[in-house]
Amino acid sequence: MGEAMMIRTIVEAIHSSPTQAVVYLSGGASVALGWLMSVPGASNTLLEAVVPYSRISMIQLLGRVPSQHCSQAMASEMALLAYNRAVKLSKPGFPVIGVGFTGALATSPPKRGDHRFFLSMRASDRIWETSVTLTKNLRSREEEDKVASHVLIQAMAKACQVSGTFDSGLTESEVPDESETQFSEEQELEQLIQGQLCFKVYPFSKEAYGSDKDRKIILPGSFNPLHDGHLKLLEVAMSVCGGGYPCFELSAVNADKPPLSVAQIKDRVKQFEAAGKTVIVSNQPYFYKKAELFPGSSFVIGADTAARLVNPKYYEGSYKRMLEILGDCKRTGCVFLVGGRNVDGVFQVLEDIDIPEEIRDMFVSIPAEKFRMDISSTELRKKQGGVDKRKRENAKEDVEQSSKWKK
């Protein structure tokens, strides 16, 4: 089998895998993009490809001025940015990778330093890193780019768990320096709390790799505990909006409380595993930030939350600021599905709230006859606290009674 056919076969296998990718390249491996995009099925894999070639373009990508453009640290930073971009763009529940590549290849006039490139691939639970120093004056720029592209495609195949290999074109002295670092679930969640990862998906639903429907139907909450009202509300919301990918969203970071600990997050996630429901753990407590994380999604909320969303009090008292922020949410394609809620003994629905005309079409009512939330997690905790208190009191009485009998 010729080289071109071998490359095509491996790229076809990459496209047949469920893994989706965002690729950031600078300074080389451009041929790899052509291979990925010219083989049918590219849209199954490639979510986005960006080539930040100019200095200003790289500064805008990173959000800072880099001290060195061609390094392993730079490739890994690009890969992490690509990964966070990929989880936002991917189909719900699909595995994703972020690819970062930076190279210093042959130039005209010839460069003084080494000809080298650095590659990094980030998945949710691991990072692969590769660096290669090429022999100077051995190849043309086009040939060096092709070798770098070979290495990139083989690394992507490995990340996608695709078997098969081909000659990368490296000589015996050009030995790649490769490493793989795995992260535990606890390390991933720490990275999320610290803001390195934007969210983590636990696809506990029955679908093998999620749904083909890109639109997420998201029910946010603290889920302390998860209860039947939450499950029923999301089910009804699905019927109201005509389908999508249903999932719950738990923010590890709170607006007015300390962040959840890793142990607390894991405990709450276990509830969804037991229920067989997908949950996303994010680090954004505010809806305008959630809208950026999950563009085009439908958020399922109670009427009390809807009332707070349109209350200028929560926007430093500015009606204009409230419209600007919710207008930005609207431009991301987000919609709020509003269920009735019992608030201080009064059943409140969307129609009871004065929604500004400019954003009114963002809010869709879940009919009260289909669903009404009459219990909250807070009330359940209070009831459970009462039960636990009675159990402790009963246990104390049993001990006291036992002591009396012994006497």
**Assigned token pair, 268:** 């709450």
DSSP 7: H
| pLDDT tens digits, 149-170 | 999 999 999 999 998 888 899 9
Average pLDDT, whole number, for the chain?
Answer: 89
Give the DSSP letter string of 206-256: SSSS--S---EEEEE---TT--HHHHHHHHHHHHHHT--EEEEEEESS-SS
- Sign of torsion, CA 216 219 221 225? negative
Which residue intervals of 296-407 are DSSP H helices? Answer: 303-309, 319-331, 377-406
Q: How confident is the model at residue 209 (pLDDT cuts 50, 70, 90)?
A: very low
**Contact assessment for residue 100 and residue 78, using Cβ atoms and an 8 Å cutoff:** yes
Is 6 exposed, middle or buried, given 0-12, 13-18 or 19+ CB atoms closer than 10 A?
A: middle
First to last CA, the chain: 92
pLDDT for residue 376: 55
Distance, in Å, from the CA atom of 147 to the CA atom of 192, rounded to the nearest integer, reads 35
| pLDDT tens digits, 349-373 | 999 999 999 999 999 999 988 876 5
Q: Is 130 helix (H, G, I), strand (E, B) or coil?
A: strand
The percent of residues in the chain predicted with pLDDT above 70, rounded, is 89
Distance, in Å, from the CA atom of 56 to the CA atom of 154, rounded to the nearest integer, reads 30
DSSP 101: E
What separation in angstroms does the CA of 220 have from each of 208, 234, 280, 371? Answer: 23, 10, 9, 17
Q: Which residues pair with 176 in a beta bridge?
A: none
Is 30 exposed, middle or buried, given 0-12, 13-18 or 19+ CB atoms closer than 10 A?
A: middle
Q: Which residues pair with 307 in a beta bridge?
A: none
| Cα–Cα nearest to 232, from 378, 92, 380, 372 | 372
Q: Span 19-26, mean pLDDT?
A: 97
Higher pLDDT, 214 or 71: 71
pLDDT for residue 401: 38
